[in-house]
Structures are given as structure tokens and as C-alpha cells.
Structure 1
Amino acid sequence: MADDAWTGQSATVIGNGLDEDGYIAREGSLGRVAAEFAPVVDAARERIAAAFGPARLHGGYLYGSIPRGTAVPGVSDLDLLLALHREPTADDRAEADALEAALDSAFPQVNGVGVLLFDTGTLLSELERHDLGWFVACLCTPLLGEDLAEHLPRYRPTSLLARETNGDLALALPRWRERLAAATPEATDSAADLTALSRAVSRRLVRTGFTLVMPRWNGWTSDLTASAEAFAVRYPDRAEQMRLAATVARTPTTDRAVLAALIDDLAPWLAAEYTAVHGEKAPRP
């Protein structure tokens, strides 16, 4: 077990998402899953086990609004992370895609299903210690199998954590601009593409805005409104833009002007400010 490692999900939360020792408390649990979503979670557990089996699967996790207990039936999606014994293959991805489609079609209370695939070597690597490792230990709720958090440290809301989680925002900007340019009125599925882009962009900007101020705020939250307000205290000149991003994250838009404002104005400024305050994320292969 890693030094200062997790010992379970029962830590007392004393405020700002920290436990009594000042570490970020794991934010979700199966006990917080609302009754409407319990059948979805049960089915996910059964189907993951059947699809991947112990030879491939080390463990499965929930994350997002469902294990936090804030999910809205018919609006919220189901987010899953699967830790495999070895590097995911094309066949593993195909199994995950089929799992997403099956769960999404079977349960109207979820609006989309997403499955992330990683191998345990990556999740426990030194390179990912303050990104994917932190994500598993703090934001993911064990669903089946062994909990990798037992092999990870506890985390404080430090500048190192900020840098390694969101210090690569600048890399996303060219892709966002390309997607916005491609979603012309004449393009097939333009509205769907703009909606998906607005959801992805706005969520990323709010998360990045929050982690920019996280060390000074001294805590953790996944609440979009709280994240935007924490940012607004430190950066009042950009407060309305971040509040707009939080609104779009909850209610995606097809308004190109709104997306352009987020992608071409707020995002470049945020990327530059983030680098100035916390530095750049360690490069990935």
C-alpha cells in the first residue's frame, strides 16, 4: 500500500470537500445513488462482469453525478471507468461501445453512457499519479473488483495537482476550433455536433477555472456553480464568462456566438493564465 494511502470511503468530510486531515475526500459512494438509478448501476455491474470477466477486468468504477447523488432522471448520463489488467485493445473498445449502447437503450433515466478504458499500469504510474491516479482515488466510486485507491496516496488541493489535471488546456484549443468550423449549418448533424461540443468545452473550462484557484480555495468540488463562483472571487473580470460556461455545461447550446466566445476568448486567456500560475502539465507519450 502506498504511503498515506486510502483506507476506504468513510472519511468524514469537514468542508470544501476535504476530510478531517485536510485531504480531498472521495466524493461519491454507492450509498448516494438515488433509487431511480439503482437498476442502472446494478445492470452496469452485471454487464461489465459478463462482458470482460476476471481475466481482463481488474475493477470497475462509477463517477459523475450518479454516485454523487445529484443525477437528474432523463438528463444525467452514466459514467464508467474500467481498469483492465493489460493495455486496452480494439476488441476491448468494441465491447465497451456495445456496453454503452445496451445500457443507454435499456434505461431511459440515463441520457447517454460513457465508458473509459485504462490499464492498471497506466492508472498506477508515476506519470499519472496526480491525474488519472487522483481521478480514481478521489472522483471514482468502486463498483466491482479491487479498488486501486488502496495503492494510491491521499491528495491535497495543491498547485501540483492543478498542473497535472488541467495544465494542458492549450492542447485542446485547435481541436475545438476545428470542430466549431466543421459544424456549419450545411453539415449533417450540425446541431448535434454543436451540442456535444458545447458540453465538452464548457465543462472543461469550468473544471479548469476551478482548479486554477483550487489551491487558494483550499478544497475540492465537482459542482459547476460552486466551481464558477470560486473562480469568480479571484477573477471578477472573467466571472460572467465563467458563469456562462457553467450554464452551458448544464444546458448545452447550439449558439455559435456563445461557443466562439468560450473557445476564442475565455479559453486562450484561461490557458495562458493557468500556465503562468501552475505551469504546464507533464507531456504524455
Structure 2
Amino acid sequence: MYLSTIDSDQPFQTPYRPAVKELIGFLTSGLEDNLHSIYLYGSVARRTAKPGSSNLDVIVVTHKSFNDSKAALFNTIKWRFQKSYPFITEVSFKTALVSDVVSLDSIFSWGFQLRHCAVCVHGENLAECFGDYEPSWEIAKHWNMDVEDWVAVYRNRIARADKTEDLIKSQKIIAKKLLRASYSVVMYRDKNWFDDPLECGQQFLRYFPEKQVEIERLGILLSGRLIAKRSVIGILDGFGDWLVKQYKKTEFKIG
């Protein structure tokens, strides 16, 4: 059973069309011949973005490194988008070299992301270099085996946060990671792939219904509702620790 891909022929949601067009214009003029291709991933790519709460997630593939000008170019785009498209909460960038994307070492990283989680909006579509993927433990662990590190980092950030907006942002990020990681631990059994974090949580409950309360609490964190620090840390210490152990147990069993 092959995993589904995002329909690249479906138009983007109306509010995001001019933003995508302007993004392409900025990157093509800023990178010129060094630019190979541009991809979107996340909710805008899936056409499920919600104005006021969704990021614009971008992958920029170039022929050679542009570290000397990267910060200036990306910061300019982010500043312009804050002014022109305030409903886009953030513009986030990932960068890669063509040679790295097409490398055999990138099959479960760039290959999987471009093939099943992104859409090409400019240039040669490198997703076509890869065949369709089947659900596997290799994919699951590549994308979420780092959940232990994420829990540690965001537990510390939440404990140290002194601004409400920083606390809510951290809550949402770690909740999204844990919901997706929860499904990934059962993906090789379920034979599917879901990107929406809430759907990941619901599908996970088919295998671990006893975790209903924890999944519901992660959904509350994801909603952006302010929760007391001690309660958030309690979720990370409890469910986060359990999930880390599940990954280690599955890795020991499957390898």
C-alpha cells in the first residue's frame, strides 16, 4: 500500500495565492541562477491553512550554498510578509542543496518529505526522482525518533518562559510534535500516514485507547489555550516519557 501524495493541481486557498506568488518572486530575484526549486509543506500545501494561526512553511533548494546572504534574504521576506500578510503567523524556511536532496542518504528525509508532504511551486520538481513510499518503521523513526530530545528542549523552554505568547507558542509546538509522534509509533501497523496532528492523535487511539485523556490534553495545548506550566510539564513528563519508551521498545523489536 503506497502513501498518498498532495494534489499539486488543486488551487491554493484564496488568501494565500498572492502570498505564494510574491514569495516566488522574492526568491527568484534574490537567488537568481542559484535557485533550483521551491516547495511548500504544512497546512498551506495541504490547503487546510487557517488565517491567523497557520505558518507558511517553505523549502528552498539551491545549486550551491548561499549562507553569506541567507539571513538577509529570509529576514527581508519575513518582514515584508508581516506587513502585507499579517494573517500568516510566520514564514519558516528550510534549505537544501540539489546534490543532498537526490543523494541515497536522503531517501527517508528529503525524498519522503518532497514526495509525500510537499508541493513544488517553482522549478524542477525533485519529488519525481523518488517513487511512492510504503508505510514503514524506517519512515516513522526517521521523523520522530528524536521525540526524547524535543521533550527535553521544550520542557526547559516552558519552565523558563516568562511571556504568555512564548509559553503558548512552545505548548503548541511540542503538542504538535507529540501528536504526530504518537501516530508514527503505530504507523507501521496502521499502514497509513497522517500529517494533521489532531488526526494523528485520533488514529493513534485506535491502538492505545487508554491514552484518551492524554491525547485530549495535547489537543487543548495545540488549540493555543493558555495552560498552567505545571500542568504542561506534567503532560510532557507523563505521556512524553511513555512515548519515548514506546519508540525504544519498537526499535528493539523491529530494528
Aligned to 2:37: 59
SS of the aligned residue for 1:31 comes to coil
- Superposition pairs of residues 184-203 of structure 1, within 5 angstroms: 187=162, 190-203=163-176
Are 2:12 and 1:33 aligned?
Answer: yes
**Contact (CA 8 Å) 1:24, 1:219: kept in 2 or not?**
yes
Amino acid at match of 1:25: S
When residues 267 and 160 of structure 1 are mapped into structure 2, their CA distance, relative to the original with a 3 A threshold, is same
SS of the aligned residue for 1:130 comes to helix
Per-residue CA shift, 1:129-158, capped at 9, x if unaligned?
112321111111101111111222321111
- Superposition pairs of residues 153-172 of structure 1, within 5 angstroms: 153-172=131-150
When residues 74 and 129 of structure 1 are mapped into structure 2, their CA distance, relative to the original with a 3 A threshold, is same
Alignment counterpart, residue 106 of structure 1, candidates 81, 84, 87? 84
Amino acid at match of 2:123: G
Alignment counterpart, residue 118 of structure 2, candidates 122, 127, 140? 140
- Superposition pairs of residues 1-285 of structure 1, within 5 angstroms: 22-29=1-8, 31-55=10-34, 57-183=35-161, 187=162, 190-251=163-224, 253-278=226-251
Length-normalised TM-score, structure 2: 0.90
Per residue, is there more helix in 1 or in 2? Answer: 2
Amino acid at match of 1:126: L
Residue segments in structure 2 that go unaligned for 5+ positions in a row: none
Amino acid at match of 2:61: A
Percent of aligned positions that are identical = 21
The aligned length equals: 254
SS of the aligned residue for 1:220 comes to coil
Partners of 2:175 and 2:152 lie apart in 1 by 15
Offset, 1:59 = 0.8
- Aligned-residue CA RMSD (Å): 2.1
Partners of 1:155 and 1:252 lie apart in 2 by 36
Amino acid at match of 1:278: E
